[in-house]
Amino acid sequence: MIRPTRREFLKNTIIAGGSLASVPLWSQAQEAPAEPLDMCIARWQGAAASAPEEIKTLATKLTEQAISALGGMKRFVSKGDVVWIKPNLAWDRTPEQAANTNPDVVAALIRMCFDAGAKTVKVGDNPCNDAQKAYPASGIEAAAKASGAEVVYLDPNRLKETAINGKVLTAWPLSSEILDTDLVINVPVVKHHRIATVTLCMKNYMGVAGRETKRNQWHQDLSTCLCDITAFMKPRLCVLDAVRVMTANGPSGGNLADVKRMDTVAAGVDIVALDALGAELLGHKPESIGTIAAGFSAGLGQIDYRKLRHKELAVT
């Protein structure tokens, strides 16, 4: 039997106590008319935006409205929580090149976490390029700092061999700095990817394993590995950034001709459904994408997001 460590015991006790304490509140919330949504797709229907400031406003509005349609950040963040926002911050590329998550989507999420009472919001990823180059180039470092978040350069010396108990990944060294938080918000950008066809929420969890950990082996059975890591991470909130979408030469890209503006942000609790939406945005049938099909059959979520309680918002 695995004995919990003191830290885990305390954490579990607090969580258990907290959930007991919140039962009366929850039953009050029951009186609310409908159950909360599983997914919200916010599409920009306002004036065509082209100036950087306009795109910034658009990305912020889309993110804020998508999250509030889900019931607001308070649904996911409790007072005093430590939240990790996990963008796709893999490449030494600028926001315009759309190889990394839009910095304004990240910044909006950070502000909402603080408004919901988060004690600390941390932002970071294990990039494919050098972090010293990728973090500043992505624009996320500056945007996150300006919103009050802590930007963490993940430390290969703090990788921790972690039991995953998946089909292929039984254990893997993962960044303990990410795992030791109360909530991980998964915020990928919608991109083309040669071997996965598309890279979305499930693929974004590769960043929890460091570049040093031989995660490049996962490509040899990507669908199974991504299902294993997704099941381990137990996603609670994913936000899909489709403001700028890389349609070819992914995942690193670099050619502005491959970037298409879709001005869409989707948020939800069902990771497979969000990935299915992302596949559709890139013109693929979700069933044709190995990872998404495997995620559905592994019971990680619903492949047809239209069957979920979802809402399409027109944001202006």
Partner 1 sequence: MRPAFRARWVPWLRRGAQTAFLLLFVWLLLRTRSRDPEPPEGFLRFFFDINPLIALMTWVATRALPRAIGLAVATVLVTALLGRIFCGWICPLGTLHDAVSRLGNLLRSRLPKPNPWSPWQRSKYYLLAGLLVIAALGGQWVGVFDPIALVYRSAVTVLLPAAQYAIEKSGTAVHEADPHVGPLHATAVTEPVYRFFRDRIFVRRSQAFLQNNSIAAFLAIILLLNLYRRRFWCRYVCPLGALLGLFAVRPLLRLVNNRELCTHCGRCSLNCQGAASPEEPGEWRPWECFVCWNCSAACNPGAIQFTLAGPLRAATAARLDLSKRAVLSAGVGGVAGFLFFRLSPQAQARTYNPDLIRPPGACEENEFLRRCMKCGLCMKACPTTALHPTGLEAGVEGLWTPRLVPKIGYCEYNCNLCGQVCPTEAIQPLPIEEKRTVKIGLATVDTTRCLPYAYERQCIVCEEHCPLPNKAIYAVEKEILTRDGRTLRLLQPHVDPALCIGCGICENVCPFEDRAAIRVTSANESRHEGNQPILGGHFTTGRQRRRRRGRASSRPPQEISNGPYN
Q: Which of 130, 287, 304, 312 touches partner 1 (CB under 8 A)? A: 130
Q: Cα–Cα distance between 235 and 164 in angstroms, integer?
A: 14
Q: What is the 3-state secondary structure (H, E, C) of 171-202?
A: EEEEEHHHHCCCEEEEECEEEEECCCEEECHH
Compute CA distances 31 → 71, 72, 194, whole Å: 14, 17, 48
Report the 10 Å Cβ neighbour count for 279.
22
Mask of contacts with partner 1, 37-66, x by CB under 8 A? ------------------------------
- As a whole number of angstroms, the distance between CA 116 and CA 128 comes to 32
Cβ 269 to partner 1, closest distance in Å? 29
Element containing residue 41 per DSSP (H, E):
strand 39-44
Query: How many C-beta atoms surround the C-beta of residue 38 within 10 A?
Result: 19
Q: Which two tokens stand for residue 80?
A: 């005093």
CA nearest to 186, candidates 309, 83, 277:
83
Q: Is 219 in the site for partner 1 (CB under 8 A)?
A: yes
Q: How far is the CB of 157 from partner 1 (least distance, A)?
A: 5
Closest by CA position to 113, among listed 78, 145, 139: 78
- Of 259 and 273, the one with the shorter C-beta distance to partner 1 is 259
Q: Is the peptide bond before 251 cis (omega within 30 degrees of 0)?
A: yes
Of the candidate residues 22, 170, 216, 297, the single one contacting partner 1 (CB under 8 A): 216
**Using CB under 8 A, which of the segments 16-24, 123-131, 264-272, 294-302 binds partner 1?**
123-131
Q: Is 187 in the site for partner 1 (CB under 8 A)?
A: no
Stretch that binds partner 1, among 112-120, 162-170, 211-219, 301-309 (CB under 8 A): 211-219
Q: Rounded to an integer, what distance in angstroms lies between the CA atom of residue 37 and that of residue 199?
A: 24
Which one of 253, 268, 286, 301 is in contact with partner 1 (CB under 8 A)? 253
Interacting span for partner 1 (CB under 8 A) from 10-18, 164-172, 188-196, 302-310: 188-196
157 binds partner 1 per the rule CB under 8 A: yes
**Would you say the C-alpha torsion 123, 221, 92, 282 has a positive or negative sign?**
negative
Q: Verify binding: residue 251, partner 1, rule CB under 8 A.
A: yes
Binding residue (CB under 8 A) for partner 1 from 59, 110, 128, 277:
128
Among 12, 220, 288, 297, binds partner 1 (CB under 8 A): 220
Q: Minimum distance between the CB of residue 208 and partner 1, rounded to whole angstroms?
A: 18
Q: Give the footprint of partner 1 on this chain (CB under 8 A).
A: 92, 128-130, 132-133, 136-137, 153, 155-158, 193-195, 214, 216-217, 219-222, 249, 251-255, 258
